[in-house]
């Protein structure tokens, strides 16, 4: 059935998990078989996540028939995951054990009666048939359609070996090929396990209170608005808002941060996080399929369907490589006997060995195993990389631009200094906070917060005749005295001028990037309160680490004035500062940077930075756990509201890039070496299959090193 241009509606779409998908060729073949099933309009296999999405109607039995060539097991996406067995325990490998036993017995019998005796030959033939039965069926079917893939190459090689009397080598090739396939399956399963672990994080049921009754309810049946009771030591099954209780939650599963976070009434909590000490009552805000953890799993699985640029190269290469090998093998088999009087049997054998070398297993698996492993490792560490292409591009980055507010800084103004002139600090702070309570100004909020932190009773102060002085501040009566709270300009107007020493103090604080709020009466200035947007503790060390690992330029972008921007920029250590920018200026600056440099990342909170994130080579959003916008607009989302994962992400991407290059180079080099062995006539069938199997195994083990990349 042809692939339709417009996909059918969501109602006709169903996703299934697949067990046993070991190579991209098998995935393509399975996808094709499913497309040809009755009632199926279209199908799409996600090899990395080992899933198939079917558009139309079919059954699991039908899907398993379509995957029978590889003994694929299918299950509904929502069911409990299939447990992966070690490859030596898999049922389909029993025939390989029997085949191997027959090969060993036949080898001993050959030593006893001579290699050409009928008894060992029967043993070898039985070993070939039992071990390669399903391979031959598939290979011959492909041959009849002139489709040349690995199964076809192996079938020709094994049957050819038998025809020229190399029964023992034919049987050896069957067994080594089966072992190679099993190892490939095992390695892909191992790479996918990092996602499997994510799926097992959240409990499948929760204690829910309904109509004063507490009952255990399966997550699928929990409704929005249900009250979930979470005891100490339990994991949360759903996303929600705390309505009762206070506790610390370990959010490592979502954000990658191992330091527990305190949660209390009105705080947002996520499925899969661990409640450490208090009893919490949580009002459920999202259905199970919409919660943050489900979103992470979905995005990670989708990411694995995205092909990395190097994968596209490998696929294209393999497309031309296999037919080229078949032509080469045919020429090796016929030219020496025809033109130079060579021995037919010997040169046909060499041609068959070249065919076996032609299996592109190691090459085909070289990129996907590395990409799946890296994306899985990142997800476990609280970093969402939304595709192989973004993983590779993050490894090429030279310039990183940061939004200032909310990224390098906390985005919340805080009181940094309190200077009093003669009065009691707490008393003056209480008066200022009480007056600011009526102002709704963000800087006023910072003062109120500081007063509350210091335990000052601002509600006990009677504020009368409150009045706003536009653009300058506010005034109000406290204890029958009129107080003014506002900028230094307000007091210059009020008093005619400000004393020199006080003016110098204000200017000094302003050069430090702080905003100064003055409290006073009509006659005198009583105190200064300096407020600034606090720099995140991690910003300085993150910028330093980025420069250490070879990022050439770090740029801070902000809408703030130049003076404040320079103070923050110098403090965190960025190499460039751009101030007074509007959102469109940020966008234009990113475009300009991209024009000059290959790789430019933009790091922001994903809310007002969306255009700049989209324009950069790699858009990195922070606080993915809290905002859907961050998850949707970015190429990479840091789940925690913290930059410390950025150097790790770049380190992981670079490591993945270098491993992919190593894998491709090694796979091609080992093929070349094996092919060169034809010249002195040293290439045997078992060396050919062993080189392919060895390459596949080494490429896989090399890729699995990405699981060990830590912060």
Cα-based distances in Å from 62 to 112, 154, 310: 49, 28, 34
Extended beta strands in 118-256, E state: 205-210, 213-218, 227-230, 240-244, 247-250
**601: β partners:** 400, 618
State residue 697 phi and psi, 5-degree precision.
-65, -45
| CB contact at 8 A, 375 and 292 | no
Query: Residue 83's CB: how many other CB atoms inside 10 A?
Result: 7
Extended beta strands in 493-536, E state: 515-520, 525-535
Query: Residue 363's CB: how many other CB atoms inside 10 A?
Result: 24
What are the residues whose beta carbons fall under 8 Å from the beta carbon of 127, sequence distance 6 or more?
Answer: 99, 100, 102, 103, 106, 171, 174, 175
Query: Residue 574's CB: how many other CB atoms inside 10 A?
Result: 26
| CB contact at 8 A, 696 and 365 | yes
Cα-based distances in Å from 627 to 24, 112, 254, 255, 284: 35, 74, 13, 13, 17
**DSSP of 382-426, one letter per residue?**
TEEE--HHHHHHHHT--EEEEEIIIIIEEEEEEEEEEEESSS-HH
| CB contact at 8 A, 73 and 64 | yes
Rounded to a whole number of angstroms, the CA Rg of the chain reads 34
Report the C-alpha gap between 206 and 230 in whole angstroms.
8
What are the residues whose beta carbons fall under 8 Å from the beta carbon of 411, sequence distance 6 or more?
Answer: 405, 533, 605
- CA torsion 630→632→634→638, rounded to 10°? 50
| CB contact at 8 A, 30 and 21 | yes
Q: Which residues belong to the active site?
A: 403
Q: Give the number of C-alpha atoms closer than 13 A to the C-alpha of residue 281, restricted to the C-beta side.
A: 10
Report the C-alpha gap between 264 and 249 in whole angstroms.
10
Report the C-alpha gap between 509 and 276 in whole angstroms.
42
| CB contact at 8 A, 55 and 43 | yes
In this structure, the chain runs to a length of: 711
Q: First-to-last CA distance in the chain?
A: 48
Helix (H, G, I), strand (E, B) or coil at 619: strand
DSSP code of residue 624: T
């Amino acid at each position: 059935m042809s692939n339709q241009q417009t996909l059918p509606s969501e109602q006709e779409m169903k996703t299934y998990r697949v067990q046993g998908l070991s190579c991209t060729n098998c995935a393509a073949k399975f996808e094709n078989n499913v497309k040809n099933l009755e009632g199926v309009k279209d199908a799409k296999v996600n090899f990395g996540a080992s899933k198939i999405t079917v558009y139309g109607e079919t059954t699991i039995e039908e899907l398993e028939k379509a995957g029978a060539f590889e003994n694929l097991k299918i299950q509904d996406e929502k069911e409990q995951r299939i447990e992966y067995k070690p490859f030596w325990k898999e049922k389909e490998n029993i025939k390989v054990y029997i085949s191997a036993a027959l090969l060993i017995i036949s080898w001993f019998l050959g030593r006893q009666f001579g290699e050409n005796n009928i008894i060992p030959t029967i043993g070898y033939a039985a070993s070939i048939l039992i071990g390669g039965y399903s391979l031959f069926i598939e290979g011959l079917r492909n041959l009849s359609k002139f489709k040349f893939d690995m199964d076809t190459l192996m079938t020709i090689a094994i049957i050819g070996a038998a025809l020229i009397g190399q029964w023992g080598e034919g049987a050896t090739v069957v067994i080594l090929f089966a072992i190679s396939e099993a190892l490939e399956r095992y390695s892909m399963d191992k790479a996918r396990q990092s996602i499997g672990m994510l799926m097992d994080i959240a409990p499948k049921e929760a204690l829910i209170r309904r109509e004063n009754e507490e009952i255990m309810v399966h997550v699928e049946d929990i409704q929005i608005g249900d009250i979930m009771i979470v005891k100490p030591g339990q994991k949360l099954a759903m996303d929600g808002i705390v309505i009762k209780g206070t506790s610390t939650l370990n959010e490592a599963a979502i954000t990658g941060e191992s330091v527990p976070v305190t949660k209390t009434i009105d705080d947002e909590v996520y499925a899969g996080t661990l409640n450490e000490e208090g009893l919490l009552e949580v009002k459920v805000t999202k259905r199970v399929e919409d919660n943050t953890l489900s979103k992470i799993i979905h995005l990670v699985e989708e990411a694995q369907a995205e092909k990395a640029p190097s994968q596209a190269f490998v696929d294209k290469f393999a497309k031309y490589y296999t037919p080229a090998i078949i032509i080469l093998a045919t020429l090796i088999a016929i030219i020496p006997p025809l033109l130079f009087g060579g021995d037919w049997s010997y040169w046909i054998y060499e041609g068959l060995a070249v065919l076996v070398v032609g299996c592109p297993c190691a090459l085909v698996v070289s990129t996907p195993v590395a990409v799946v492993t890296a994306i899985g490792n990142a997800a476990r560490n609280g970093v969402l990389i939304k595709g192989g292409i973004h993983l590779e591009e993050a490894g090429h980055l030279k310039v990183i631009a940061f939004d200032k507010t909310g990224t390098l800084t906390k985005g919340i103004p805080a009181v940094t200094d309190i200077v009093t002139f003669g009065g009691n600090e707490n008393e003056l702070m209480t008066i200022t906070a009480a007056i600011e309570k009526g102002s709704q100004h963000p800087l006023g909020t910072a003062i109120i917060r500081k007063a509350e932190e210091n335990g000052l009773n601002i509600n006990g102060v009677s504020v009368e005749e409150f009045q706003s002085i536009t653009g300058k501040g506010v005034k109000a009566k406290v204890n029958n005295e009129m107080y003014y709270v506002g900028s230094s300009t307000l007091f210059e107007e009020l008093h005619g001028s400000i004393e020199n020493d006080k003016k110098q103090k204000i200017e000094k604080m302003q050069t430090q990037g702080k905003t100064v709020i003055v409290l006073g009466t009509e006659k005198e200035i009583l105190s200064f309160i300096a407020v600034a947007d606090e720099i995140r503790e991690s910003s300085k060390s993150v910028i330093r680490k980025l420069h250490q690992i070879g990022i050439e330029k770090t740029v801070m972008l902000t809408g703030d004035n130049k003076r404040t921007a320079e103070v923050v920029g110098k403090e965190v250590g960025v190499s460039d500062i751009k101030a007074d920018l509007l959102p469109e200026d940020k966008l234009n600056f990113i475009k300009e940077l991209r024009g000059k440099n290959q790789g430019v990342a933009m790091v922001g909170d994903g809310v007002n930075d969306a255009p700049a994130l989209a324009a950069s080579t790699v858009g990195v959003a922070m606080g993915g756990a809290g905002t859907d916008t961050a998850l949707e607009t970015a190429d990479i989302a840091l789940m925690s509201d913290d930059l410390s994962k950025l150097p790790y992400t770049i380190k992981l991407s670079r490591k993945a890039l270098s491993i992919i290059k190593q894998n491709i180079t090694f796979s091609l080099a080992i093929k070349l070496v094996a092919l060169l062995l034809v010249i002195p006539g040293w290439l045997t069938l078992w060396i050919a299959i062993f080189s392919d199997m060895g390459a596949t195994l080494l490429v896989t083990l090399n890729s699995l090193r990405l699981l060990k990349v830590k912060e």
